[in-house]
Structure 1
Amino acid sequence: MIPEHKIQEVLERVDLVGLVSRYVELKKAGREFKGRCPFHQEKTPSFYVVPEKRFYFCHGCRASGDAVSFVQRYLGKTFIDAVRDLAREVGVDLEAAQDPGARERQQIKEATDLAAEHFRALLWEEEGRSARAYLASRGISDETARAFGLGWAPAAWTSLADRLTKAGMVEWGLNAGLVSKRNKGDGYFDFFRSRLIIPIRAPEGRPIAFGARLVDAEEGPKYLNSRESRLYNKSETLFGMDQARDEIRRRKAAVLVEGYFDCIALHQEGVKHTVALCSTALTPGHLKLLGRAEARELFLLLDGDQAGLAAVERLAGPLLAAGAAAKVALLPQGDDPDTFIRREGSAGLERLLTEARPLTNHVFLTLLPQGKEASFEEKMSALERLKPVSAQLPVGLVRSAFFAALSAWCGLPAAELEASLRSKAPPPPVKPVPKPGQPPARGAAPQGPAAPRPAPVKPPDALETLYVAAVLREPRLVVRDTFRVCDELSHPGLRLVLAHATSGHGAEDALFEAHDTIKRAVDAASRQLAEQQGSALEHYFLQLCRAIMLRRINQQLDYIKRTTSQTSGALDLSEETKQLLAQRIELLSLKKRVEEEIRPSPPGTKAPMQPV
């Protein structure tokens, strides 16, 4: 991905008049330059270049944009290639702007993509017969297996290594943890062998790692997972989030399980707001991820055995520390979510969720069932087990509320309960700042120059974000854009997303590397478009294109009005003013044509916001 600030630097350095003049004969017209449009046949010049604002526009065919879009249109380049060509020409080093770590991340992405496709294809070939039989034994349908992108890693030692080597990616596969170097001699061997492969995906849908279940073999652990990489951080990843995100948003709740197959089984039975941990720990990163998906309530659905009860205690600390609204759904003794839902179905599970009890109630009831009536020894034992939970609570309201609830349950004074465990409370982190000339403390990392803060990314325009969200949902819509809005988006981040979505990478991958500001904006726009489907979405998209076009025309009309408002009479008109007034007539004619193309929205279709 090219950094947005570098795209902006390229646009600022390019001499737009000089660039366009290579292909169009331009003549000075006041503050602008005028010529015959290179994008359509015309006798009277209606194509203008405005160097002050770094854009061009044509009153005849409605083409407009900046230097990058001109190169795209005239030379048939992609957005990325146009930026690179112009960057070389004006001396902007795009390679230097890219972090070497980002390059490694891109390489790992490509190797992981290849591996996911390799595993997926093998599952449905003859080699994957035993894996398909295993899936059938667990009640997983072919449709569900395809939806989750399940795959098969055969027993052969170099199946994937050979494929990566042929593609020139074997070193990338090594960094991704997909292959390992041989202990003796040259070459590589596969990390996953004789295993059913479960892709772990980012919320946008791209595979970033793999879980693998041993099938038809006896050597090795039952489950094997990808190691962490520049692409995969298990403390910030939840399995199934790509499939569950929309349902979580609709229900404002999420179900949390511990196993991949628990998650897959619940989705198959219609409980589609289920996600699974990729590790044993629940982290602030996981809670942040759920928060972005608008989960206001979290249901813990863990195994109905001693390990499941212990898991609730383990997860209670970070949940209570975050002030999360969490509930515990109790499974029958010996059940796990997979076996329960196969036996009871989604209705049984929904009943279980309805009966779920708040996390604190569950913890207190589990550790001290008799409450105030418990013996001294039972209370001390319960408090000892609560130490790991209370140790994670920050000093403040959350901690005070926890001890108040505990006091009400066990009948001991809250102040004394807190005092007895106060030593376990995590102190607020304090980072010592050395004085000028003072050496860093022993064991501290050496102080280098402070890393420059990245420039903040401004939020994109609302109408343009809706345009991109619609194309991400239905990439075919871009060919219906007769106004070529795609070439004229004002936000570099949106243009990068659109370039990836329409270049064969897939809409689900387009947001993968986008800045969080862009992700949040496009995500909100996608929710706004949720009700638009099929022809209704297409009509809405056309309305968006026209609304954006009308807004640009109105902006040009406003500029002409401001510029010519000081003219006292017809005899005082300068050549520049005459040109502007002529443009005004053309713009009004164009505006009328655009407005006539707008059709009333069909019943049940919301029109996009009106241009301003």
Structure 2
Amino acid sequence: MIPEHKIQEVLERVDIVTLISRHVELKKAGREFKGRCPFHQEKTPSFYVVPEKRFYFCHGCRASGDAVSFVQRYLGKTFLDAVRDLAREVGIDLEAAQDPGMRERQELKSATDMAAEHFRALLWQEDEGRAARAYLHSRGVSDEVAHAFGLGWAPHAWSLLADRFQKHGMLEWGMKAGLVLKRNSGDGCFDFFRSRLMVPIRAPEGRPIAFGGRVVGVEDGGPKYLNSRESRLYNKSETLFGMDQARDELRKRKAAVLVEGYFDCIGLHQVGVKHALALCSTNLTAGHLQVLRRAEARDLVLLLDGDAAGLAAVERLAGPLLAAGAPTRVALLPQGDDPDTFARREGAEGVERLLEAAQPLTTYLFATLLPQGRAATFEEKMAALERLKPVAVQVPPGLVRSALFGSLADHFGWQPAQIETSLRAKTPPPAPPAPPAHEATARPAPRPVAERPPPESEALYVAAILREPRLLARDTFRVCDELSHMGLRVVLAHATSGRGTSDALFETSELVKKAIDAAWRRLSEGGLALESEFILVCRDIMLRRIAERLVYIKRATEQTPGAFDLTEETRQLLAERIELLALKKRIEDELRPSGAGTKAPMQPV
């Protein structure tokens, strides 16, 4: 990925008039340059280059854009190749400019992608993957679900993956990803995962970022589960397993079911409970809750074993859930069951009944820690409070904390002040105040420039093409060249280069992901309805561009004293205004939806 700010620097450094003059004879016309359009046959020049705005446009064929889009269109280059060519021309070293951290992420991505494909292929080899496939079938996992989750097999051989990395010159990348390790003695490396059924852990966009491995068929194969270490790609405190498979169902239900194991999550999906997710660590963090909020999962259900381990998990997870004010319920499985086995035996209907009967988190917590409630002895109440201290300490002062103490007081039969006094010893101390300015030992770091959020209509345009790439052929006015947000242009370039939607979204900023995600939810699922919405978005963007140009012309010509005193520049601008108004009418006539209704009205300005 080329950093967005570097693409902007290339556009600022390129002399667009000089660039286009190599291919088009241009003549000065006031503040602009005019010539015959290189993209269609014409006798009267209607092609303008505006150096002040760094863009070109043609009133005849409606071609428009910046220096990058001109190179793309005229020389048939891809977006990224056009940027690289122009960067070389103006002396910008994109390789040197690339963030070392971004380069490392790209290396980790390549290594993880290769490993995922390596493991996946071995699982489906007739002889090599037989034991792993038998294990999957014994757990009721169908081949279809195994393919959907990208499951794989790491054989017992010591260096099969390491040898493959070595062959492709990626051994160092595989070591950075923790997929291969150096031998303790001698040269060479060995595979980290061996004799394990491999479960890829994926980003919400669907790209593998890490692995979990379950030992199969080996008596002494180390721990039952082995997980990738954290890296620039993988932060387990911000990753939920199954998010790529559950995203649509989460938004539909506005709820999520949280379990603790990969195969618990896979087993629930197998029977049709598709809003299930699994933690990739033993703790639930603010990062996990932020991921759930972005996916619009407002209500959470903890589906846990009905034994001491299940109760311990509730106590462990209650603190961050209460601190975040996340509406949470607890569903307990029958003794001896886990979510996977229960789902296989009872099916989706049985799981849904269990979820419907789930208790509110605090109700369950109080009832299990102090079943007798007010009738409990003093010693029993103090023991219960002691177990609640790790939960209470995570809830910051405020309404939620006060409500928690009030509910505890009601259950215990004590006053809220007594409860608070008993739990106060574990309350975290307030953060120390910042030192006065004159005591500062170092100057504060400058604040980074805030990223500009993408315009809504441009995000809708890109989201529609990500959903149905065929729509790009319906862009008769080449709105793709009119996109003003460089982050969206980069996403579109990757998505239309054959690399796929998940790859296009993987490296973009959270702000761009959020805008595309919101746009994705506004659009129809596909077909004529989506095409109709896409046409309206194209119309909106084009009419906005024309409106902006008309405003500029109005300001530049409104001081004109009289018709006989017009300068050549003013005449050109007024002629351009007539052409723009004609273009506006053509757009309004041509960009009409094909009869399908839209899910949400997207009216042009």
TM band (smaller chain): over 0.9
Secondary structure of the corresponding residue to residue 42 of structure 1: coil
- Quote the residue 2:322 is aligned against: 320
**8 Å contact from structure 2 (residues 385, 422) kept in 1:** no
Residue equivalent to 2:70? 70
Aligned residue in 2 for 1:460: 454
Unaligned runs of 5+ in 2: none
- Secondary structure of 1:255 counterpart: strand
Counterpart in the other structure of 2:139: 138
Q: Cα 1:204–1:433, aligned 2, differ >3 Å: closer, same or farther?
A: farther
Kept after mapping to 1: 8 A contact 2:2/2:94: yes
Pairing 1:23–2:23 present: yes
Change (3 A) 1:463 1:140: same
Quick check: 2:330–2:359 contact (8 Å CA) kept in 1?
A: yes
Q: Indicate whether 1:476 and 2:478 are aligned.
A: no
CA distance 1:543–1:395, shift in 2 (3 Å): closer
Match of 1:182 in 2: 183
What is the 5 A alignment of 1:546-585?
A: 546-585=539-578
Aligned to 1:45: 45
After superposition, the C-alpha distances for 1:296-333 in whole angstroms (9 at most, x for unaligned) are 11100011221111111111111112222111011111
Tell me if structure 2 keeps the 8 A contact 1:111–1:169: yes
After superposing the two structures, state which structure 1 stretch, 260-269 or 596-605, moved more: 596-605
Task: From 500, 505, 512, give the equivalent of 1:506.
Answer: 500
Shift of 1:213: 0.9
Q: Which residue of 1 aligns with 2:371?
A: 369
Q: Say which SS state the counterpart of residue 305 (structure 2) adopts.
A: coil
| CA drift at 1:512 | 1.4
Is residue 2:530 matched to residue 1:525?
A: no
Structure 1 match to 2:84? 84
Aligned length: 603
Deviation at 1:590, TM superposition (A): 2.6
Counterpart for residue 394 of structure 2 = 392
Contact 1:37 1:58 in 2 (8 A): yes
1:8 aligns with 2:1: no
Task: Verify the 8 A CA contact 2:198 2:213 in the aligned structure 1.
Answer: yes
Indicate the larger mover: 50-59 or 379-388: 379-388
Closer, same or farther in 2 for the Cα pair 1:434/1:558, shift >3 Å?
A: closer
Shift of 1:450: 4.6
Paired residues of 2:531 and 2:593 also in contact (CA < 8 A) = no
TM-score (norm 1): 0.94
CA-CA distance at 1:436 after TM superposition: 5.5
Alignment of 1:202 with 2:195, yes or no, is no
Distance 1:419 1:606 in 2: 54
Tell me the amino acid that sits aligned with residue 344 of structure 1.
Answer: E
Measured in 2, the distance between the counterparts of 1:97 and 1:415 equals: 59
Query: After the TM superposition, which of the residue ranges 364-373 and 316-325 deviates more from structure 2?
Result: 316-325
Contact 1:153–1:196 (CA under 8 A) maintained in structure 2: yes
Cα deviations by residue, 1:110-168 (Å, 9 ceiling, x for unpaired): 11011111111221112212211111111111111111111111111111111111111
Q: Describe the SS at the equivalent of 2:42.
A: coil
Give the alignment's TM-score, normalised by structure 2: 0.96
RMSD of equivalent CA atoms: 1.9
Instruction: Give the fraction of aligned pairs with identical amino acids, expressed as a percent.
Output: 75
Match of 1:347, SS state, is helix
Displacement of 1:97 in angstroms is 3.8
Choose from 252, 255, 270 the match for 1:253. Answer: 255
Structure 1: distance between partners of 2:287 and 2:8: 32
1:298 equivalent among 297, 300, 304: 300
Q: Is the 8 A contact 2:528 2:596 kept in 1?
A: no
- Over residues 580-612 of structure 1, what are the superposed CA-to-partner deviations in whole Å (9 max), with x where a residue is unaligned? 232233333333332222334424434752222
The offset of 1:195, in angstroms, is 1.0
Shift of 1:451: 4.1
Measure the CA separation in 2 of the matches of 1:131 and 1:65: 54
Q: Which runs of 4+ in 1 moved over 6 A?
A: none
The alpha-carbon distance between structure 1 residues 70 and 280, as it changes in their structure 2 partners (threshold 3 A), is same
Cα distance in 2, alignment partners of residues 319 and 94 from structure 1: 44
Q: Which amino acid aligns with 1:540?
A: E
Asked if 2 retains the 8 angstrom alpha-carbon contact of 1:475 and 1:507, the reply is no
Q: 1:408 to 1:148 in 2, by over 3 A?
A: same
| Structure 1 position 495 matched with structure 2 position 489 | yes
Conserved in 1, the CA contact under 8 Å of 2:181 and 2:191? yes
1:457-497 Cα offsets, whole Å, 9 max, x none, are: 11111111100001111223223322211222100111111
Whether 1:167 and 2:168 are equivalent positions in the alignment is yes
Which residue is equivalent to 2:35?
Answer: 35
Q: Describe how 1:325-404 pairs up with structure 2 within 5 A.
A: 325-404=327-406
Moved more, 508-517 or 333-342: 508-517
Check the 8 A contact 1:105/1:230 in 2, yes or no. yes
Distance in 1 of aligned mates of 2:599 and 2:374: 58
In the alignment, is residue 239 of structure 1 matched against residue 233 of structure 2? no
Contact 2:328 2:360 in 1 (8 A): yes
Cα distance change, pair 243–298 in 1 and its aligned pair in 2 (3 A): same
Q: Which segment is superposed worse, 602-611 or 363-372?
A: 602-611
SS in 1 for 2:153: strand
Letter of the aligned partner of 2:300 in structure 1?
L
Question: Aligned partners of 1:48, 1:509: CA distance in 2, in Å?
Answer: 36
User: Which consecutive unaligned segments of at least 5 residues does structure 1 have?
Assistant: 440-446
Identify the match of residue 534 of structure 1 among 518, 527, 535: 527
